[in-house]
A and B are shown apart, each in its own frame.
Chain A
């Protein structure tokens, strides 16, 4: 029996020996890994991890009403380093690849050590070639990554600097390195909508900090930011900007459609290029902007309150009519150029003789308003003016909108003390001086309310969104509207009108009111507001700071804007 089994004896022994040998080799390797080098592998194991990498969401694109892109995104390459995974002996290599200054790179790498486990941007805005050189060498640069981050671009940075604003790197609350957040303007106000939500992919990082593969599962796709369409017309805005600039003075212009409430122009000159703020502005450029004489950071369209001067007369005239102090035929004593009252001289800019209210608006006679307003009540006038959008912000969206000011007993008591003021303050206020302050936007709204007969809808900046926000109660009769409109019509059409010289040439009827606002010891501010009915129902206001006479300086600017509106509306027909 054993005899035949001996046939298998030799292979049995060989196979057993070979098997034992093979198993011993495996055991030998196990000894090496699990006993001799166990500490090493335990250390590696603790450094193994899954890294979350944020995929920024593309920020929403901002367009104007005609689809012109005002803010969009460009891809920009950045190089980031995770300190704990970066071998500092590779700094030289990284420097060579980036052709960066050694010292500067060293500083940034040191700075990155503050957040050792987080990806920190070392260099941004690389060209494709520069980024490519680093990307090609990533295999020997553990902890380094090349990323494409969206970079904001503003197509008309200067013109829309106040409205759209700019983005900057988010502060300490940021979710990820390179996260952008809106700093000013709509970028800030609408940040949540524009930003979208960033996505996350999880990468498996090996023991050397190199990305080895995607960790499947748990990925979050980025949600692109919402695209925003604003009601402004960039063509008009650009024209308004250049017109104001051509006066050589700072200024602002507002145009709005009084049937829809859509704002078409919010021009504030000078502006600054918002593109230079992206990724942090250099202190040199920042100082340049700060020290520029025109103060470009100052937003003149809705965040600065000026004495409105005679443009306010359309409101005070309506108040005089509604309060019954005057009617269309009331003719107070004539204007002799100066009105003596209570020992003071109240000056008019001309000698207008005897006028009714239409004539007073046409020729902008101050004396008429002195003589009539003194019969009224200051608080009533302020309350009435509030119904015209003054003394409070007119939108609920524009950032930093000023309220302006209206004189009330309370305010004057506060300012001058009981008895420290008198009827003169009311008289001065009735011609838009003294304690009356308003932004160009508010002044445009007063004209829009006259034009629309008090039916102006809430103002809108964002297209296709139901209007919400501030509305007004003018408490004004149709008859009063008719009289004030007539005064505004004649201010342009009558040969005696203050705007006749600058606006009567236009092929459409313009209803306007000029203003020459005294401004302490400085040159007067030149104002104009008004509206047209055809071809578009728009109201406007223009101010040229220290420009001088309203009809002569602001009038032509407004006229040219209207020309552009005519040109555009004929185009679109």
Chain B
């Protein structure tokens, strides 16, 4: 039954290059704190181990263990909310490890969606859509409460992409995302009216049964009504974080300045870059969060336009290989896991690089495989491992 294909060299080479260049870059960005590099080296080695494990892990078993993964992730998220430490309170200390639960939540959302959506697509399970929305909604809300707004938004975008990948039309995507739209529309009555009218239109066009009408109308009304109260519960800094996310210009001194510095760093890189370990913005410690959020700026300053495009090219190749594998995959779960992973990578790259270029709001989303940090790296390597597994076993059903 298992007919593994031969090694996908495009995948392996681009992944290896990304990991190596990422390490190289963290070494430069860590400045005098060279211990960051050693940590990252350990993370990468651990990630490679996880990748190898995940690439041979039976995907069917993964599919069946979805509820356990879900339970485990939910507990981690809740524990972090109460016992989280670290600079943003997003880390949960387990033994010597600082685990960022929201990273694992992203993996969980992908697996969960891969498990449920194809099934819902194939046959109408009674209450299936609502159950899916509920379970995924819990993960998203818990992630938001970490507090990790960026990751929560990324999750929604990944879900969005996966719904589309599963073959649902835009009407469905609208329905799936209706709680989010409802929450946003509660800002203004006119918006809410527009939203509800659109919802009715979509429901009518999909020929929904009365039960579905009732579910969506009641659910979105409750969400819209509860949002202002929920907003009030949020602490001012959390509100500020939300508004900054939605409107980064509102906070020019905080995040805005980082972006200016990042643009200066990238721009001063020129075509060929200032040379490895020679980025003046980086070496002078001008770049904020230079080994984490703004790691791309360090890369772009030192390696210039050629290096920047090369890095993006590597991501592109990686995403292409995964999507191609997902396209061919006969097993819907495998296909969805691959698609979710590719979308995960693409969204993170676009949001993170877009942020350093001043085109995207400032969020804490890491640059996959390159940003310093263990949690996201291991999560990514695990997803990539599953994806590689799916690519090589595209024939299995």
Please give the residue numbers on chain A whose beta carbons come within 8 Å of chain B beta carbons, in ascending order.
1, 4-5, 7-9, 11-12, 14-16, 19-20, 22-23, 25-27, 29-31, 33-35, 37-38, 40-42, 44-46, 48-50, 204, 206-207, 212-213, 215
**Contact A29–B359 (Cβ < 8 Å):** yes
**Contact A34–B267 (Cβ < 8 Å):** yes
7 contacts between A and B (CB under 8 A): A7-B167, A8-B329, A16-B323, A23-B349, A45-B268, A45-B280, A48-B286
Query: Which of A12, A30, A215 interacts with B357 by CB under 8 Å?
Result: A30
**Contact B305–A22 (Cβ < 8 Å):** no
**Contact B309–A27 (Cβ < 8 Å):** yes
**Contact B350–A23 (Cβ < 8 Å):** yes
Nearest first, the 10 closest Cβ-Cβ pairs linking A and B are A41-B267, A45-B268, A34-B305, A12-B327, A33-B267, A38-B270, A42-B268, A29-B357, A8-B327, A11-B165
Shortest B51–chain A CB gap in Å is: 22
**Contact B164–A34 (Cβ < 8 Å):** no
**Contact A207–B260 (Cβ < 8 Å):** yes
Chain B 166-180, CB within 8 Å of chain A: the 1/0 string?
Answer: 110000000000000
Q: How far is the CA of A75 from the CA of B131 in the complex (A)?
A: 66
Chain A at the B interface: mostly helix, strand, loop or mixed?
Answer: helix
Chain A contacts for B359, CB-based, 8 A: 25-26, 29
Q: A19-B319, A23-B312, A35-B271 are in contact. Are A11 and B264 (CB under 8 A)?
A: no
Chain B 240-273, CB within 8 Å of chain A: the 1/0 string?
Answer: 0000000000000100010011011111111100
- Answer yes or no: B190 CB below 8 A from chain A CBs: no
**Contact B266–A206 (Cβ < 8 Å):** no
- Answer yes or no: B156 CB below 8 A from chain A CBs: no
Cβ < 8 Å to A, chain B residues 264-322: 264-271, 280-281, 284-286, 300, 304-305, 308-309, 312, 315-316, 319-320
Q: A15-B339, A50-B284 are in contact. Are A5 and B330 (CB under 8 A)?
A: yes
**Contact A19–B316 (Cβ < 8 Å):** yes
Q: How far is the CA of A42 from the CA of B265 in the complex (A)?
A: 8
Please give the residue numbers on chain B whose beta carbons come within 8 Å of chain A beta carbons, in ascending order.
161, 164-167, 253, 257, 260-261, 263-271, 280-281, 284-286, 300, 304-305, 308-309, 312, 315-316, 319-320, 323-324, 326-330, 335, 339, 342-343, 346, 349-350, 353-354, 357-359, 395
**Contact B316–A20 (Cβ < 8 Å):** yes
Chain B contacts for A31, CB-based, 8 A: 305
Shortest B90–chain A CB gap in Å is: 21
Chain A contacts for B350, CB-based, 8 A: 22-23, 26
**Contact A11–B267 (Cβ < 8 Å):** no
**Contact B165–A41 (Cβ < 8 Å):** no
Chain A contacts for B353, CB-based, 8 A: 26
Q: How far is the CA of A98 from the CA of B20 in the complex (A)?
A: 57
Q: How far is the CA of A37 from the CA of B260 in the complex (A)?
A: 14
Q: How far is the CA of A9 from the CA of B327 in the complex (A)?
A: 6
Q: A16-B323, A19-B316 are in contact. Are A26 and B270 (CB under 8 A)?
A: no
Q: How far is the CA of A30 from the CA of B320 in the complex (A)?
A: 22
Chain A contacts for B357, CB-based, 8 A: 26, 29-30, 33
**Contact B305–A207 (Cβ < 8 Å):** no
Query: Which of A8, A20, A35, A45 interacts with B165 by CB under 8 Å?
Result: A8
Q: How far is the CA of A12 from the CA of B271 in the complex (A)?
A: 33
**Contact B308–A11 (Cβ < 8 Å):** no
Q: How far is the CA of A139 from the CA of B354 in the complex (A)?
A: 27
Chain A contacts for B323, CB-based, 8 A: 12, 15-16, 19
Chain A contacts for B253, CB-based, 8 A: 212-213
**Contact A22–B346 (Cβ < 8 Å):** yes
Q: How far is the CA of A206 from the CA of B267 in the complex (A)?
A: 15
Shortest B293–chain A CB gap in Å is: 16
Query: Which of A4, A5, A15 interacts with B343 by CB under 8 Å?
Result: A15
**Contact A204–B327 (Cβ < 8 Å):** no
Shortest A100–chain B CB gap in Å is: 29
Query: Which of A15, A20, A50, A207 interacts with B161 by CB under 8 Å?
Result: A15
Q: A22-B350, A26-B357, A37-B267 are in contact. Are A11 and B304 (CB under 8 A)?
A: no
**Contact B271–A33 (Cβ < 8 Å):** no
Shortest A41–chain B CB gap in Å is: 2
Q: How far is the CA of A206 from the CA of B263 in the complex (A)?
A: 12
Q: How far is the CA of A9 from the CA of B271 in the complex (A)?
A: 37
Q: How far is the CA of A48 from the CA of B346 in the complex (A)?
A: 33
**Contact A33–B266 (Cβ < 8 Å):** yes
Shortest B346–chain A CB gap in Å is: 5
Shortest A356–chain B CB gap in Å is: 88
Q: A5-B330, A15-B165, A22-B350 are in contact. Are A204 and B286 (CB under 8 A)?
A: yes
Chain A contacts for B271, CB-based, 8 A: 34-35, 38
Q: How far is the CA of A215 from the CA of B288 in the complex (A)?
A: 11
Chain B contacts for A49, CB-based, 8 A: 284
**Contact B308–A206 (Cβ < 8 Å):** no
Q: A5-B330, A23-B312 are in contact. Are A11 and B167 (CB under 8 A)?
A: yes
Query: Which of B257, B305, B330 interacts with A4 by CB under 8 Å?
Result: B330
Chain B contacts for A9, CB-based, 8 A: 327
**Contact B304–A34 (Cβ < 8 Å):** yes
Chain A contacts for B267, CB-based, 8 A: 33-34, 37-38, 40-42, 44-45
Q: Kindly list 4 other residue pairs between chains A and B, CB separation below 8 angstroms, not including A16-B323, A19-B319, A206-B261.
A: A15-B339, A23-B350, A35-B270, A40-B267
